[in-house]
């Protein structure tokens, strides 16, 4: 029986007692003292699930590029999908608890965390926040129970960092919308029952719910990935795909709506990446204390090796504090998208550097999937790119501190000439 997560509160029961963990956790500076008892219990419950259900199967799933679909009902039974929602019988957990869930899942594998991030933050969130009552009543319970899988289609072959340029479009035709275009690199695309698809309309960018069996909608998987192999990534194609008018998310009208969904998922990634970092740090620590070279000494006795471990634990500890402050701000309703950019950018970056360092510390064993390090390292290459690349988040932080957006390249000579002419005209007009 898998314990179901609930937020403690009047009339709500507690989940299982803290058992002895397989994974001891990484807590260099008593950061656990900053979590509530409830948050620690939720973390422990998911930690046990990862140890018992994910770690035994994940290398095989990764090696054979197979999504472990049998985990979906188990994760649903635990209440892992849409866990911060408090309606529809969902647990209404705090955002810190949600972050800890993501941390533990990604300690297992970034692809499993990704599945839960997409289902919760990119599918249930937009339906819950921007959907009609009918859409919510239909989809939220199905998605929560894992009886329906969702995906989020924003990226296109020619528009990744700049989704505002998207070409996918939707035209109103009587009682229908007709969609044309393509999306690429979509997590869970071909296994999804419903796709949340973002398209340009005459009234701006809007979200649409496209069920998998709609004529004109098809998918094809991206093959040959060396990263996130236990996760399905697909292209979505829309050729005169007709859906009922009621399938539009009524409260969506501009780019800020898909971007607001990304803020939810990026928050989870900032926590999740710490889980991957903890997994590779723990592996490197254990390995280097056991591995003997040169005169019977474990390699952990060498200063160069200790320097690497010291760097890793320092960065993980700083990342934990960053994630926790983000979580407390989110629970207080004060978290801003540019805060989340810092968390996603920093924590994924340090996790990837920890994984690369751990890979080196394991020597030849570091390139084998007998250890989890190379899998985490390759997964984190995708995590650094998706949900806003490392550099896009740097630019978001740059804009927050300077007030100057710098996503577009410097002006071309022609644009500069036109801008100067316009400024001169305005100056002349002001003088008259
Ligand atoms: P910009 O003019 O800056 O913004 C347009 C409107 O949106 C608002 N906004 C946000 N709102 C909520 N959350 C955010 N994170 C927001 N960022 C911006 C903004 O205030 C504005 O509102 P308003 O009222 O003035 O209209 O838009 P821009 O076109 O200049 O783009 C800015 C930029 C580059 C930061 C944005 O396009 C961006 O974030 N690009 C990265 C794209 C991206 O992250 N794609 C991810 C696709 S999903 C995915 O990867 C899933 S991976 C699987 C997993 O999650 O595990
Ligand atoms: P590009 O935007 O082409 O960027 C290429 C490089 O150029 C990057 O280094 C970038 O930082 C840099 N760059 C771009 N613009 C600038 C600039 N203005 N200044 C400086 N540097 C710049 N998308 C979804 O919609 N849904 C999903 O479920 C989803 N899942 C994914 C799963 C995986 C495994 C992967 C790999 C991707 C997924 N994506 C998904 C797509 C992902 O969000 C995009 O890959 C990401 O936003 C980057 O877009 P791009 O790949 O087109 O890179």
Q: Which is the catalytic residue, given 53, 104, 315, 387?
A: 387
Whose Cα sits closest to atom 3 in ligand 1? 405
Task: Quick: pLDDT tens for 321-378.
Answer: 999 999 999 999 999 999 999 999 999 999 999 999 999 999 999 999 999 999 999 9
Q: Which one is predicted more confidently, 13 or 305?
A: 305
Provide mean pLDDT across the span 151-159: 98
Q: What are the chain's domains?
A: 16-144 (1.10.540.10), 150-255 (2.40.110.10), 257-393 (1.20.140.10), 394-424 (no CATH)
Q: Which two tokens stand for residue 259?
A: 């971007």
Q: What is the pLDDT of residue 3?
A: 62
Model confidence over 271-280: pLDDT tens digits?
A: 999 999 999 9
Find the residues whose C-beta lies inside 6 A of ligand 2. 118, 152-155, 160-161, 185-187, 228, 233, 382, 385-387, 389, 391-392, 407
Tens digit of pLDDT for each residue in 24-35?
899 999 999 999
353 in active site: no
Report pLDDT for 11: 35
Dihedral of alpha carbons 118, 120, 126, 132, sign: positive
Residue 16 pLDDT exceeds 50: no
Angle between helix 390-402 and helix 337-361 axes, rounded to 10 deg: 140
Please say if the pLDDT value at position 9 is more than 60: no
Pick from 7-16, 43-52, 177-186, 290-299: least confident: 7-16
What ligand 1 atom has the least distance to the C-alpha of 110? 56
CA separation for the pair 113, 123 (Å, rounded): 14
- Within 8 A by CB and 6+ apart from 369, the residues are 59, 62, 63, 375
Confidence of residue 208 (pLDDT cuts 50, 70, 90): very high
Q: What is the pLDDT of residue 7?
A: 60
Ligand 1 pocket by Cβ (under 6 Å) = 114, 117-118, 152, 154-155, 161-164, 187, 254-256, 259-260, 262-263, 265, 337, 386-388, 392, 396, 407
Checking if the pLDDT of 1 tops 60, the result is: no
Per-residue model confidence (pLDDT) at position 262: 98
pLDDT tens column, 73-110 = 999 999 999 999 999 999 999 999 999 999 999 999 99
| Model pLDDT for residues 215-243, shown as the tens digit of each residue | 999 999 999 999 999 999 999 999 999 99
Better pLDDT: 431 or 405: 405
Where does the pLDDT of residue 21 fall: very low under 50, low under 70, confident under 90, or very high at 90 and above? very low
pLDDT band at 15 (very low <50, low <70, confident <90, very high): very low
100: CA distance to ligand 1 center in Å? 24
Cα–Cα distance list, 81 to 12, 51, 118, 351 (Å)? 19, 19, 9, 25
Average pLDDT over residues 99-123: 98
Among 279, 188, 171, 184, which Cα is nearest to 228's?
188
CA pseudo-torsion sign 270, 275, 278, 280:
negative
Res. 423: pLDDT tops 60:
yes
SS3 177: strand
pLDDT at 17 over 60: no
Q: How far apart are CA 397 and CA 405, in angstroms?
A: 10
> What is the whole-number distance in angstroms between the Cα of residue 162 and the centre of ligand 2?
8
Q: Residue 287 pairs with which residues in a beta bridge?
A: none
Q: Candidates 101, 254, 256: which one to mutate for ligand 1, based on the most atoms within 8 Å of Cβ?
A: 256
Beta strands in 89-215 (DSSP E): 150-153, 169-173, 176-187, 194-201, 204-211
pLDDT averaged over the chain?
A: 94
Whose alpha carbon is nearest atom 8 of ligand 1?
A: 256
Question: Which atom of ligand 1 lies nearest, measured to the CA of 115?
Answer: 56
Q: Name the percent of the chain lying above pLDDT 70.
A: 94
Q: Give the distance (Å) from ligand 1 centre to CA of residue 255.
A: 7
Rounded-to-integer distance, Cα 323 and Cα 121, Å? 17
Can you tell me the mean pLDDT for 133-162? 98
pLDDT (mean) for 120-133: 98
Please report which confidence band the pLDDT of residue 161 belongs to, taking 50, 70 and 90 as the band edges: very high
Biggest distance spanned by C-alpha atoms of the chain: 88
Ligand nearest to the CA of 405: 1
Indicate whether this model's pTM tops 0.75: yes
- Residue 232 has what pLDDT? 98
Nearest residue to 140 via CA among 153, 123, 157: 123
> Hey, what are 123's tokens?
């599918």
Contact 46, 18 (CB under 8 A): no
């Amino acid at each position: 029986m898998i314990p179901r997560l609930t937020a403690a509160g009047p009339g709500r029961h507690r989940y299982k007692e803290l058992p002895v963990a397989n994974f001891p956790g990484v807590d260099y500076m008593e950061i656990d003292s900053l979590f509530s008892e409830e948050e620690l219990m939720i973390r422990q419950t998911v930690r046990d699930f990862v140890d018992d259900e994910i770690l035994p199967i994940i290398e095989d799933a990764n090696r054979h590029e197979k999504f472990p679909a049998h985990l979906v009902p188990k994760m649903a039974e635990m209440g892992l999908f849409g866990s911060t929602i408090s309606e529809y019988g969902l647990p209404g957990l705090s955002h810190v608890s949600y972050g800890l869930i993501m941390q533990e899942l990604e300690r297992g594998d970034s692809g499993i965390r990704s599945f839960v991030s997409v289902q919760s933050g990119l599918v249930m969130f937009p339906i819950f926040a921007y959907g009609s009552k009918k859409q919510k009543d239909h989809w939220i319970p199905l998605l929560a129970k894992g009886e329906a899988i969702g995906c989020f289609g924003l990226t296109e072959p020619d528009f990744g960092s700049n989704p505002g340029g998207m070409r996918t479009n939707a035209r109103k035709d009587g009682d229908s919308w007709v969609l044309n275009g393509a999306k690429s690199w979509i997590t869970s695309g071909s296994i999804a029952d419903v796709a949340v698809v973002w398209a340009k309309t005459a009234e701006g960018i809007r979200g649409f719910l496209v069920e998998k069996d709609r004529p004109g909608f098809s998918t094809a998987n991206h093959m040959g990935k060396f990263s996130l192999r236990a996760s399905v990534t697909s292209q979505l194609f829309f050729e005169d795909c007709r859906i009922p008018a009621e399938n539009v998310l009524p409260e969506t009208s501009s780019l800020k709506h898909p971007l607001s969904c990304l803020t939810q998922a990026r928050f989870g990634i900032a926590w999740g990446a710490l889980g991957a970092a903890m997994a590779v740090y723990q592996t490197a620590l254990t390995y280097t204390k056991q591995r003997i070279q040169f005169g019977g000494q474990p390699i952990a006795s060498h200063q160069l090796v200790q320097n690497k471990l010291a760097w890793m634990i320092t960065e993980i500890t700083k990342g934990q504090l960053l994630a926790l402050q983000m979580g407390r701000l989110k629970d207080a309703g004060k978290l801003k998208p540019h805060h989340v950019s810092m968390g996603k950018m920093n924590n994924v970056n340090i996790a990837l550097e920890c994984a690369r360092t751990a890979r080196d510390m394991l020597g030849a064993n570091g390139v084998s999937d007998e250890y989890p390090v190379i899998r985490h390292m390759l997964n984190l290459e995708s995590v650094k790119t998706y949900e806003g690349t490392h550099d896009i988040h740097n630019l978001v932080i740059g804009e927050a501190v300077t007030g100057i957006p710098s996503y577009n390249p410097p002006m071309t000579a022609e644009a500069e000439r036109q801008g100067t002419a316009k400024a001169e005209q305005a100056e002349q007009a002001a003088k008259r």
